[in-house]
Amino acid sequence: MLDTLEILPGRDKSGAPERHALCLRPGDIVALVGPTGAGKSRLLADIECLAQGDTPTGRVVRVNGRAPDPESRFSGEGKIVAQITQNMNFIMDLPVAAFLRLHAESRALPPHEAESAVRRVLESAVGMAGEPFGPETELTQLSGGQSRALMIADAAFLSPKPVILIDEIENAGVDRTRALELFTDQGKIVLLSTHDPLLALSGTCRLVIRNGAVSDVIEPTAAEKENHRRLVHLDKQLGALREALRHGRRIEQPLVFPTP
């Protein structure tokens, strides 16, 4: 059971000390923002390997107030961190439901719980992907967006890993707001590197990364939360236009985007 994930400061690219320590709890969504090369992926990698002062940044990650045991650092099974990127794909040749049942079995879920988990993963994945797919669709036949949606739902409902790292899923072809809700509903800690305003403003906080270090920790104000609500609305409208174009329609009416 994960109660806290602490990231103790290291040093920036020039060797100057990082100023911010972080303490994350289940349900937190942390957005990482910063220009290209600033060090967002490096911070995610430090968390992925539960760094102990042994990476270029010198950061130290503590789990429930202590140094993690070697099992959670180095064994695939014992690891507490799952990662999702927009380039991931399945290479297994199995129908979707058979793959999910295999995963449920490996978690030793009793058969009725396994079946309902498989159903939930499928339903949420189809809800997140633009195009529907079924239990008998082959994994290798899924589109990029469908694969990512399945990975996200699988990580939310079937994976025991309490920390999820997401590297730039803005172009992953999934409903991003729903994906984040899924993780927080399941009490995961989510860290995501993003250049997307909708995702950046979704966080319980966002970290500004500069020159290899966390240079600021911003908690959203009421005005930012309101702007986030507007962006969700705008995103839905853009989604409807995308859908219309996909179906070969014209978009000729003057576009007006009323705020909610």
Nearest to 156 by CA among 93, 71, 85, 84: 84
Contact characters 219-258, ligand ATP, x per CB under 6 A: ----------------------------------------
Classify residue 143 by its DSSP letter. Answer: -
39 lies in the binding site for ligand ATP (CB under 6 A): yes
Nearer to ligand ATP, 11 or 120 (CB): 11
Q: Which stretch binds ligand ATP (CB under 6 A): 33-41, 176-184, 200-208, 223-231?
A: 33-41
User: Which tokens hold the place of 51?
Assistant: 């760094």
Q: Report which of 131, 169, 134, 165 is spatially closest to residue 148, judged by C-alpha positions.
A: 169
Residue of 61, 62, 59 whose CA lies nearest to 39 = 59
Name the residue with the smallest CB distance to ligand ATP: 212
Among 2, 6, 8, 13, binds ligand ATP (CB under 6 A): 13
Question: Helices 96-106 and 144-157 meet at what angle, rounded to 10?
Answer: 20
Is 36 near ligand ATP (CB under 6 A)?
yes
Among residues 152, 9, 141, the alpha carbon closest in space to that of 88 is found at: 152
For position 37 contacting ligand ATP by CB under 6 A, the verdict is yes
Binder of ligand ATP out of 5, 24, 33, 40 (CB under 6 A): 40
The site string for ligand ATP over 44-73 (x = CB under 6 A, - otherwise) reads ------------xx----------------
Given the complex with ligand ATP, which of 18 and 175 has the nearer CB atom?
18
Residue 46 beta carbon to ligand ATP: minimum distance, rounded to whole angstroms = 9
Name the one range near ligand ATP by CB under 6 A: 34-42, 70-78, 108-116, 131-139.
34-42
Nearer to ligand ATP, 100 or 163 (CB): 163
- Our finding on whether 12 is near ligand ATP (CB under 6 A) is yes
Q: Is 206 an interacting residue with respect to ligand ATP (CB under 6 A)?
A: no
Residue closer to ligand ATP (CB basis): 168 or 175: 168
Which member of 7, 30, 38, 174 binds ligand ATP (CB under 6 A)?
38
- Report d(CA 73, CA 52) in Å as an integer: 10
Cβ distance to ligand ATP smaller for residue 35 or 132: 35
Token pair for residue 254? 């003057």
Binding site for ligand ATP (CB under 6 A): 11-13, 34, 36-42, 56-57, 193, 209, 212-213
